[in-house]
Amino acid sequence: MHDHHWTFGRNCHIRFPSSGAPVVDTDHGFVSNEGSAAISDGSGNLLFYTDGTTLYDAAHFPVLYAPLGGSSSSTHSAIIVPPAGGGLLYHMFTVFDWDSGAPNVGPVNHITVSLSGGLAVVSGPTPLTFGPQRAAEKLAAIPHVDCDKYWLVSVDVGSGGGGGNGNGSEAERAAAAGKQAATAATSSIHVMLIASNMGPLASTAYPFAAAAPRGCIKFSPDGSMLAIVGYNSLEILTFDRATGVVAHHSRVTKWQGEPYGVEFSPNGLYLYLSNAVGGEVRRHTIGGLNGLDDYGTLPLIGQWSQTGLNGYRVGALQLAPNGKIYGTKNSIKGLFEIGAPDSPTATGTATQFDIDAKAAGGAILTLNDDALLGLPTFVRIASDCRCDFLAAQIDGQLAAIPKVNALRPCDDSQPVEQPKCLPLDLPPIAPWTSIRWGDSKCDCIEGDDTEIMHLTVCNPYKNLTLSNLVINQIIVVDMNGNPPPLLPDGSPSVQLVPVGPYCFDDLAPCTCVTRQFVLRLRGAVPGPYRILLRGICFDACFHGDEEDCFIFNVCKD
């Protein structure tokens, strides 16, 4: 629910109730040409937001003014990292825009925010002495594989310097001419680890020759890939959520016009790209390692022809809580939407591209004022960390409730103040899962085949209930972890329908529940494959009967 409020553009504020279509909400009062960031609580209530220059509370009141170290002309001017690892502090990071040039282009800035007793800035803004010292435009974050910390990714734009007055650096001018600039070779990606109770830790740099200052950077839904707009190209990298190691995967080159927006489909198989000048939205199917595609050969999903502020037509792309991807039409009081981004067929009809995004009820979404280039930047919560993320949000809300008076325990055996927070040493708890198909052992899965698969989940424990059990996604990969190869027409050779989520509700002790899905194969290459169950999320509920006692005194009138 952290991404249910979007604040962007000229006083634009939309909200996603539950997982439905967006509704227009209260004006927020700031104007951001590009970047912004917002954070909501576990119930979808707005907590605070920023355009990188000013921090606003949920009532749209400015809490902290510039300089926060960001710029509303930066693609990702700010990002808000929620509490993790038992901490209660939010960490906000900002970067300046590229065009303003030196001395504005500098380190990533860090602000610590607390909600205990009301929104308050605990520290900052503080320029980080480690990490990129010439950061601009790009910020992204994903949980660590153990879900109790976060990885923050930023980009050092190298020694080329800012353009100044919008003229651009040598690297940008070369990119506009379709050439590679020598200064781009000094760029690097920086990966930083963040723990809520400790703040940002040291970062690690990876040389990266194609990192353009402008344009978006996004993690895939599972955090295994990172897409970054580069000089005249789109770079796709692998990301290790356990170590933070970044490595090259594949590339889209010869990007025509000016690259800007990028977003993954929910199933992580496709990348949607926006051309800010040409108004195009295209789709790239992520292939194998070291793949190389030309932008001009990618399927055109949709296009907006009207030119807006500064000559741009479309801007950022953002995956919403309802599974759709939304994009900005520059200087227009509306968005466009891609309603079925996981569609195996890459046409505007199949992907449900609509140049006019729809609000709740089916009417055209009409914003308070003009959208510009940007949409808010959110931490991408990997599916296997969603339960931990929600639990941390709830813990933070409870801890923020003020304590007025406390009673003394009857037997004096418990501390009056809050006890120390310690991990509970529990044995591993996990459901039992299996997948079966066919009527006999002779039923083989063939290269051209359709099989009804039976997914069974069991609670193997007799003294607890597995509650709200959900399997967020089911995907099929080869033995190297890559998607099965596509057919010559671009359609998948192996497909699961649906990919998820699969809800099993509450599993009582020693019971099982079965759900079905379809495995479709058409021209599939013979050999072994893996079916991965992603994001198996549940609560383990014990029952106990206890009593307690507290003492209070009645005061004399």
Peptide bond into 103 cis (omega under 30): yes
Last residue of a domain, one of 367, 388, 409: 388
* Amino acid identity for residue 153 in this structure: V
**Token duo for residue 273:** 């790209």
Tokens representing 319?
């995956």
Indicate if 213 and 277 belong to the same structural domain. yes
- CA dist., res. 102 & res. 134, Å (int): 9
Q: How many domains does the chain have?
A: 2
pLDDT score for 160: 46
- Check residue 341 and give its pLDDT: 94
Q: What is the pLDDT of residue 429?
A: 87
Q: DSSP 3-state assignment of 98?
A: coil
**Position 507 in a domain:** yes
pLDDT at res. 382: 82
What is the per-residue burial (b if ≥16 Cβ within 10 Å, else e) of 179-213? ebbebbbbbbbbbbbbbbeebbeebbebebbbbbb
Q: Please list the residues that pair with 92 across neighbouring strands.
A: 80, 111
Do 59 and 137 fall within a single domain? Answer: yes
30's CB contacts (< 8 A; 6+ apart) are: 7, 11, 36, 51, 54, 56, 72
- Say if 395 falls within a structural domain: no
Tell whether 343 is covered by a domain.
yes
The answer to whether 79 and 52 have CB atoms below 8 angstroms apart is: no
| Residue 89 · residue 50 · CB < 8 Å | no
At a CB cut-off of 8 Å and minimum separation 6, what does 361 contact? 21
452 and 547 fall within a common domain: yes
Residues 118 and 34 in one domain: yes
* Overall size of the chain counted in residues: 557
Q: Are residues 447 and 512 in the same domain?
A: yes
The rounded distance, in Å, linking the Cα atoms of 203 and 225 is 19
For residue 421, is it within any domain? no
Query: Is residue 485, in this structure, part of any structural domain at all?
Result: yes
What is the full per-residue pLDDT of the chain (557 aa) written as tens digits? 789 999 999 999 999 987 689 999 987 778 899 999 999 987 788 999 999 999 999 889 888 876 788 888 999 999 999 887 767 889 999 998 887 655 557 899 999 998 877 888 888 899 998 888 888 889 999 999 888 899 999 988 765 444 433 334 434 434 443 434 434 445 788 999 988 878 888 888 887 655 566 789 999 999 999 999 877 788 999 999 999 999 999 999 887 788 899 999 999 999 999 999 999 999 999 988 888 889 989 999 999 999 999 899 999 999 999 999 999 999 999 999 999 999 999 988 999 999 999 998 889 999 999 999 999 999 998 877 777 776 676 666 666 666 677 676 777 665 555 556 666 666 788 899 999 888 777 778 999 999 999 999 999 888 889 998 999 889 898 888 888 888 888 788 998 888 888 889 899 988 999 999 999 999 999 999 999 998 898 888 876 666 778 777 888 87
Asked if residues 47 and 40 have their Cβ atoms less than 8 Å apart, the reply is yes
Going by DSSP bridges, is the β-strand pair 270-275/259-264 parallel, antiparallel, or unpaired? antiparallel
What number of other Cβ atoms are within 10 A of residue 288's Cβ? 12
Phi-psi region of 410 (alpha: psi -120 to 50; beta: other; left: phi over 0): alpha
Confidence at residue 175, expressed as pLDDT on a 0 to 100 scale:
43
What is the value of pTM for the model shown? Answer: 0.73
The closest of 82, 80, 85, 72 to 35, measured between CA atoms, is 72
556 and 439, same structural domain?
A: yes
Neighbours of 159 (CB within 10 A): 12
Same domain, 359 and 210: yes
Residue 386 confidence (pLDDT) = 73
Domain assignment present for residue 401? The answer is no
Q: Answer for the pair 339, 284: CB distance below 8 angstroms, yes or no.
A: no
pLDDT at 413: 66
Please give the pLDDT value at position 83. 85
Q: What is the phi/psi pair of residue 94, to 5°?
A: -130, 150
Residue with tokens 């931990």: 388
Q: Are strands 188-195 and 150-156 parallel, antiparallel or unpaired?
A: antiparallel
Q: Are residues 378 and 458 in the same domain?
A: no
Report in angstroms the alpha-carbon separations of 348 from 216, 282, 316.
23, 10, 18
Cα–Cα distance measured from residue 47 to residue 213, given in angstroms and rounded to the nearest whole number: 30
What is the C-alpha separation between 170 and 183, in angstroms, rounded? 7
CA–CA gap between residue 89 and residue 83 (Å, rounded): 5
**Does 453 lie in the same domain as 376?**
no
Residues 353, 465 within the same domain: no
Same domain, 540 and 439: yes
Give the tokens for residue 494: 């192996």
In a domain, 405, yes or no: no
- Domain containing 511: what range? 427-557
Identify the domain boundary among 388, 407, 440: 388
Tell me the CATH number at 236.
2.130.10
Here the CATH number for the domain that contains residue 494 is 2.60.40.10
Integer Cα distance of 352 and 281 in angstroms: 13
Residue at 134 is within a domain: yes
Of 368, 388, 408, which residue is a domain's last?
388
Whether 479 and 529 share a structural domain: yes
Around 355, how many Cα atoms within 13 Å sit in the side-chain half-sphere? 11
536: Cβ–Cβ under 8 A, 6 or more apart, which residues?
384, 430, 431, 433, 469, 470, 471, 472
192, β-bridge pairs: 152, 203
